[in-house]
Amino acid sequence: MLAPFIKDKFLLNAGELSYIPTAVYAGVILILLLSGIFIDRFGNRTAIKLSFLFMALGLAACAVASSYYMLLIGYFLIGLGYGSLPAATNSTVISAYRPHHYKKMGLKQTGIPIGVLFAITLLPIIALDYGLAYTFIFMFIIATLIFALMGYDRSRPKGENETDYLHTLLSVLKNKTVYLISSLSAFLFWAQQSIATYIVIFFIYRGFGIFAAEITLFFLILGSIAGRIIWPAVGTKLFGSDKAASLAAVSAGSALLIIALALSPANFVVAIGISFILGIFIMGWSSIYNTIISESAGEGKVGVHSGMGFIILDTGIILGLPISGFLIRVFSYQYTFDIIGAVLLIVSVAIFVFGRNLVGATAAQRAAIHSNG
């Protein structure tokens, strides 16, 4: 939602703008390898508390940034902080609700778009009235308050030694589900972030005013809240326990809707309608993905398996967004969105063909272990 303001202040083109999310997820990947095992050994609340400390430092750097490169450093620090949160929250939900965690995982995932809706509503107003720096100051204050108020785990839940650490880390290398589903879902993550990064600027170039363009992003995120609640229920009703089939359906639907977005007329009502429905699909897949990866992990190993999965997933941002920026710069937004849609159609087939048996077998195996225990 801040992309137009950052673009104007730092005089960036589409390619340079794409490196901002890339900087975030570079930080995420760097911290994930250690954060997963840290979560499983030292506790979820401690990881969450430290996450907000790093995010506060990154937001402070963004607030005082006078150059594009300083801004990238700030976003990199934000990524270092954010990296532990998905794995920590996954571990919390699985520990509290297993084996009835699927819908709870979807509800947990709604926290992200609800926060984004709050940001879309407030941050552009702050940026327009007071300047871009004050939006970062506002977020810095929130992150600092959460860090100060968040509790921590005083004792280690497990007395693992360094041999246990290495064994747990190596056990992820044997989990084919993590690699296959995360690799395919990386394309979904690339598509999601490309749309979220460029949708406002796309509609500005289509002739919309900045507030009208921001409203399309608002409806995209509103749809994502609906999607993260709807898909666990609808997916179960349509596909039973076959979560890979649900993920394939979401990918195919996202592909068709992205193409529809690219071809849609410059009509405000049509734009917000497509944006809302697209949000249900392109941002609703994460609850399914998180459940698949968490179910594939053994008891007490959700953090490290999620961490490894997110490392693979985040390559979709590191490698994909610069490609999106390049395509936009050389061709157009419409052409780029059409390519993303075509790629997701291929991905949906790959998930359906190659992922179903693997995911189903892993989930059944973990369920049997859990019931016997």
pLDDT for 174 = 72
DSSP string, 314-373: HHHHHHHHHHHHHHHHHS-HHHHHHHHHHHHHHHHHHIIIIIHHHHHHHHHHHHHHHHH-
Structural domain tally of the chain?
A: 1
Q: Are 348 and 249 in contact (CB under 8 A)?
A: yes
Residue closest to 246 by CA, chosen among 340, 108, 106 = 106
DSSP string, 19-64: HHHHHHHHHHHHHHHHHHHHHHHH-HHHHHHHHHHHHHHHHHHHHH
Q: Are 15 and 68 in contact (CB under 8 A)?
A: no
Dump pLDDT digits (tens) for 227-256: 877 887 787 788 877 888 889 999 999 999
The residue that leads in pLDDT, 163 or 87, is: 87
pLDDT for 152 = 73
pLDDT for 369 = 41
312 Cβ partners below 8 Å, 6+ apart? 178, 179, 182, 183, 186
Dump pLDDT digits (tens) for 134-170: 999 999 999 999 999 887 766 554 544 445 555 666 6
Domain extent, residue 288, equals 3-154+162-372
CATH number of the CATH domain containing 138: 1.20.1250.20
Q: Give this prediction's pTM.
A: 0.72
Dump pLDDT digits (tens) for 280-332: 998 878 878 877 877 776 655 666 677 778 788 888 888 888 899 899 989 89
Distance set, CA 131 to CA 117, 126, 135, 144 (Å): 20, 7, 7, 21
pLDDT for 4 = 83
Q: Are 5 and 200 in contact (CB under 8 A)?
A: no
pLDDT for 368 = 45
pLDDT for 64 = 94
